[in-house]
Amino acid sequence: MQPLRLVIVAAAMVAVLALIAGFTSENDQRNRDEASATQSVVAPPPVPSRVVEADLPSTKTVVAQVGQTVQLTVKLDAVDSLVLDAFGLDTTIPAGIATPVLFTAISPGRYDLKLQDSGKVIGRLVVREARPGGSSGGTTPQAEPEQETPGVAEPATAA
């Protein structure tokens, strides 16, 4: 009779261990599912507007960030070419026709928008470093001499 009790107790212990293992793996799977669902809900950081628009000639400064598309609408009294060597731009503008000029701001700096034939400056472009996600990343942003808002034109200073 003793060996029969031993077999029954051993079988009961195996059954209890199997139940415990089943619940543990179920909870682990549920925790993994919840963790992956939480990770996939994270929203990407906001992206600044990708296009900056301005009309030229203008006494205002066009402000953009690196990586943004700049769309200028240029209307001249005489045929001339708009040249911006830093961006490889050399576009002929016909007389009296509002002509769109598109390019990507690829490097930070201040640039005169100059006509090749007449030598006249018809505007100024300021390109700033792109700021990821619109935050300073925990550091203090650098102070800048002029406060400019991307995509907004402001009065230009005399050259």
Instruction: Read off the pLDDT of residues 44-88 as tens digits, 9 standing for 90 and up.
Output: 555 556 788 888 888 889 999 999 999 999 999 999 999 998 888
Q: CA-to-CA distance for 27 and 12, rounded, in angstroms?
A: 23
Name the residue type at position 2.
Answer: Q
Q: What is the CA radius of gyration of the chain?
A: 33
Instruction: Read off the pLDDT of residues 85-139 as tens digits, 9 standing for 90 and up.
Output: 888 889 999 999 999 999 999 999 999 999 999 999 999 999 999 876 544 333 3
Token pair 């209890």: residue: 16
